[in-house]
Structure 1
Amino acid sequence: MALRHAVLAALLDGEYSGYQLAKAFDIGVANFWHALPQQLYTELAKLEKDGLVAGRQVIQETRPNKRLFHVTDAGRAELERFAADVSKPSFIRDDLLVKVQAADRIGTAPVIEQLEERASAADAKIQLLGNLLRQMRGDLDEEQYLRTGERVGPYLTCLRGLAFEEGHRDWCLRIANVLRERRTTRAER
């Protein structure tokens, strides 16, 4: 998947400035696609040049002018084409896993500390995603929302992000405990 498809999908919810798009990525899209704000601005320019989004200038009295972008018919067609393509399996590429793999040989203390930091960061994301899910649902319970909600796609990706963060947190805490216990057991020998 290219960043362009993630940007197009995010713009399906309405018209956004580059700044608003970056905020939307931070909240809802970051759980499955990471992009820096400058990457988003660059991608918006490319998408506009390719006719997949259109921008319009908004004159503001007390602030600098801004451009708002929306998906064009060509952009929707590109997303439909992308949706029809067979997705490749995802893979993990994480420097912490390299450290865990080497922990027996390089020492466990810094790895345990990093695992606990990751678990804490995952907890914060779990709270953020939980709040976002509740906000999207409004007064509906989850099953009602999944059946009748206005726009279910962002909700479903947040559910995936929540499951990922919960699994990641639980794994980090478990592995930190395993390494800690192994260190204690070896010290007792």
Structure 2
Amino acid sequence: MALRHAVLAALLDGEYSGYQLAKAFDIGVANFWHAVPQQLYAELTKLEKEGLVAGREVVQESRPNKRVFRVTDAGRAELERFAEAPSKPSFIRDDLLVKVQSADRIGTTEVIAQLEERATAARAKIELLDQLLRTLRGPMDEGEYLLRGERIGGYLTCLRGLAFEREHRDWCVRIADILKERQRAHAQR
């Protein structure tokens, strides 16, 4: 998947400025696609040149003018082509896994600390995603929202992000505990 498809999908909800798109990415897209604001601005420029998004200037009284973007018919067609193409399997690429793999050869203290930091970060993300899910569904319970909610794509991807963060937290805690136990066992020899 290219960043272009993630940007086009995010713009399906309406017009966004580059700043608003970056905020939307932070909230709804970051659990499956990471991009810094500079990448988003560059991608919007490319997409506009290709006719996949259209931009317009918005005059603001007390602030500088801004450009807002929306998906064009050509952009929707590109997303449809993307949706119809076979999906490639995902894979894990994580530097922490390299550190864990070599922990018993290079030492475990720093690896344990990094696992605990990751678990803490995952807990914070879990809270954020839980709140986002509650906000998205409003007064509906989850079952009702999944059947009757206006747009559920963002909700479904948020559920995936939540499951990932929970599993990641649990794995980090478990592996840190295992490495600590091994440290204690080796210290007693």
Question: How far, CA to CA, are the matches of 2:57 and 2:133 in structure 1?
Answer: 32
What's the offset of the Cα at 1:187? 1.0
- In the alignment, what sits opposite 2:173? 173
- In the alignment, what sits opposite 1:149? 149
**SS of 2:134 mapped into structure 1:** helix
- In the alignment, what sits opposite 1:108? 108
| 2:114 aligned partner, one-letter code | Q
In angstroms, what is the RMSD of aligned CA positions? 0.4
- 1:56 partnered with 2:45: no
Deviations 1:33-90 (A, max 9, x none): 0000000000000000000000010001110000000000000000000000001000
Paired residue total: 189
Question: How far, CA to CA, are the matches of 2:39 and 2:179 in structure 1?
Answer: 38
Deviations 1:85-122 (A, max 9, x none): 00100000000000000000000000000000000000
4+ long deviations beyond 2 Å:
none
**SS of 2:102 mapped into structure 1:** helix
Which structure 2 residues correspond to residues 32-51 of structure 1 after superposition, within 5 A? 32-51=32-51
Question: How far, CA to CA, are the matches of 2:120 and 2:134 in structure 1?
Answer: 21
Question: How far, CA to CA, are the matches of 1:26 and 1:147 in structure 2?
Answer: 26
- In the alignment, what sits opposite 1:4? 4
- In the alignment, what sits opposite 2:67? 67
Calculate the TM-score normalised by the size of structure 2: 0.99
Deviations 1:3-26 (A, max 9, x none): 000000000011000000000001
Calculate the TM-score normalised by the size of structure 1: 0.99
- 1:29 partnered with 2:20: no
- In the alignment, what sits opposite 1:88? 88
Question: How far, CA to CA, are the matches of 1:105 and 1:184 in structure 2?
Answer: 16
| 1:74 aligned partner, one-letter code | A
| 2:14 aligned partner, one-letter code | G
Stretches of structure 1 lacking an aligned partner (at least 5 in a row): none
**SS of 2:129 mapped into structure 1:** helix
**SS of 1:91 mapped into structure 2:** coil
**SS of 1:74 mapped into structure 2:** helix
**SS of 1:128 mapped into structure 2:** helix
What's the offset of the Cα at 1:32? 0.1
- In the alignment, what sits opposite 2:124? 124
